Structure 1
Amino acid sequence: MGCGNSKISSSNIVVLGVVQIMIGIYHVLMWYFLLLLYMGQIKGVFGTYEPLTYKMGTALWGLAFIISGAFTVKASKYQSRYMLICALSLNILCMIITIIAASLTIVELAHFRSVSYRNYGQAKLGREVSRILLFSYPLEFGISLTYSICSCSHLGRRQEESLESVSEVMNSRF
Structure 2
Amino acid sequence: MGCGNSKISSENVIVLGVIQIIIGIYHVLMWYFLLLLYMGQIKGVFGTYEPLTYKMGTALWGFAFIISGAFTVKSAKRPSRYLLECALSLNILCMIVTIIAASLTIVELANFHSVSYKNYGQAKLGREVSRILLISYPLEFAMALTYAIYSCSHLGRRQEESLETVSDAIDGKF
**Shared topology, TM-score over 0.5?**
yes
Corresponding residue for 2:83?
83
Q: Does the alignment pair 1:118 with 2:92?
A: no
User: 1:1-174 counterparts in 2 under 5 A?
Assistant: 4-174=4-174
Deviations along 1:48-97, whole A, 9 cap, x unmatched?
00000000000000000000000000000110000000000000000000
1:6 Cα offset (Å): 4.7
CA-to-aligned-CA distance 1:11-40 (integer Å, 9 cap, x gap): 100000000000000000000000000000
Question: How far 1:7 sits from its partner (Å)?
Answer: 3.0
- CA separation in 1, counterparts of 2:93 and 2:7? 25
Stretches of structure 2 that go unaligned for 5 or more consecutive residues are: none
Segments of structure 1 that go 5 or more residues without pairing to the other structure are none
Moved over 6 A (4+): none
How many residues matched? 172
How far apart are the structure 1 equivalents of 2:97 and 2:172? 49
- What is the RMSD of the two structures over their aligned residues, measured on CA atoms? 0.8
2-structure distance, mates of 1:140, 1:149: 14
In structure 1, how many angstroms separate the alpha carbons of the residues matched to 2:6 and 2:31? 38
Distance in 1 separating the partners of 2:109 and 2:10: 39
Percent identity between matched residues is 83
Return the TM-score normalized by structure 1: 0.97
